[in-house]
Amino acid sequence: VARIEDLSTPCLLLRRQVLAANCARMATRMDGLGVALRPHMKTAKSAAVAALATRGQDRPITVSTLAEAAYFLDAGFDDITYAVGIIPQKLAAAAELQGRGARLTMITDNLEGVTALSEEAARLGASFDFLIEIDCGAGRAGLPPASPAVLELGRRLQDAPGLSLKGVLTHAGHSYGCRSSEEVVAVAEEERSGAVQAAEALRAAGLPAPVVSVGSTPTALHAARLHGVTEMRPGVYMLGDLDQMALGSCSLEEIAAGVLARVIGHNRQAGHLLIDAGGLALSKDLSANRFLDNVGYGRLCDRSFTPLTERLYLAEAHQEHGMVKAPGGAPPPFERYPLGSEVVVLPNHICMTAAAYDGYHVVNGAGEVEDFWPRATGW
């Protein structure tokens, strides 16, 4: 059996037991709230993780790229919502997936685009199911729930040859700006009520809206009720990260993934350690710094994911160099971290960090490397 110390660095570690507990907790919670779980696989991008998140079955999933859709289809997951606005240029790839057995659901919020989407569907001899994207307050994409454009888009989709209306979808991205559980509960209610309002407006106009899809990890974990919602699409809860910890969506102990790195230098003049995980190994995401001090590009733990007593963190990230400092400018204890010492870095944002790796080294509590799970990559 390989051990963590046998791995070359940097690499991505995944704690199987922690992952399994995170998946089970979310599934139980969705059962309790009476909605289907359609986990968003854009974070983990792994069929093995998807199997855990869907309780061992090839159940509904969400993806953020058609490359993910193809990967998961090959792994047996055929009920796939592609939760990024579709464009005509991507329909050929989507039709190819449907030809291989995928049941795809697309989203759009673009009135002007319906004609081009319908024409491309006709050219391909394909038909596509659509949800209307709703903006429940995040301000990224989607139509406002009360906008007349929701009905107009619904009519156009339903009338356009090759396109079918199946409901609405929203994502409470603004849950990532909340500072308290109470705020997340309020955002979750905005997410729920916005999606339900839009779906009810469609139904009142005689249009179909069987699907009411919502979800983000913070709102999935904090929503007080989900009346009218049919499915939730959280994703990052499976792995967790410092940003989710800062948001109250997980504890430190519930973070399942981290980057294994080694000490490659001591800069005694400048007062930092160097490790072989820098900007490429961790990403340049700084999200958790808006809530936490002494985070930088990540916090250092030992091989068992226990934070180092010196509270070391990655203060700067160059391409392959990570500069590790102690809080308050104290010099790191160089003698405790000789050249080659292993550390685990918990990243700010695991979606961004994990994307640099082609897979996970799956570890157990005893520090044994049990498996390697590939990840979907690219677009």
Q: Measured from the CB atom, is 65 or 127 closer to its own copies? A: 65
Provide the minimum distance between the beta carbon of 30 and its own copies in the complex, in angstroms, as a whole number: 22
- The token duo for 371 is 């498996």
Letters for 39-58 (x = contact with its own copies by CB under 8 A, - = none) are ---x----------------
Residue keyed to tokens 């350690």: 273
Q: Does 340 bind its own copies (CB under 8 A)?
A: yes
Dihedral (C-alpha) 66, 71, 73, 79: value to the nearest 10 degrees? -50
Residue keyed to tokens 């139509």: 143
Strand partners, 265: 274
DSSP-assigned letter for residue 76: T
Q: Does 93 bind its own copies (CB under 8 A)?
A: yes
Interstrand relation of 257-267 and 272-275 (parallel, antiparallel or unpaired): antiparallel
3-state secondary structure (DSSP) of residue 361: strand
Q: Which of 24, 330, 339, 366 binds its own copies (CB under 8 A)?
A: 339
CA 84-85-89 angle, to 5 degrees, is 110
Of the candidate spans 9-17, 24-32, 53-61, 73-81, the one that interacts with its own copies by CB under 8 A turns out to be 9-17
3-state secondary structure (DSSP) of residue 267: strand
Provide the minimum distance between the beta carbon of 57 and its own copies in the complex, in angstroms, as a whole number: 26
Q: Does 150 bind its own copies (CB under 8 A)?
A: no
Dihedral (C-alpha) 349, 376, 221, 12: value to the nearest 10 degrees? -50
Q: Which of 78, 135, 190, 191 binds its own copies (CB under 8 A)?
A: 135
Q: Which of 88, 248, 331, 374 binds its own copies (CB under 8 A)?
A: 88
Contact positions with its own copies (CB under 8 A) in 294-323: 316, 318-321, 323
- Tell me how far the alpha carbon of residue 316 is from its chain's centroid: 25
Give the residues lining the site for its own copies (CB under 8 A). Answer: 8-11, 42, 64-65, 84-90, 93, 109-110, 112-113, 116, 133, 135, 139-142, 144, 173, 262-267, 269-270, 274, 276, 279-281, 283-286, 316, 318-321, 323, 338-340, 351-352, 355-358, 377-379
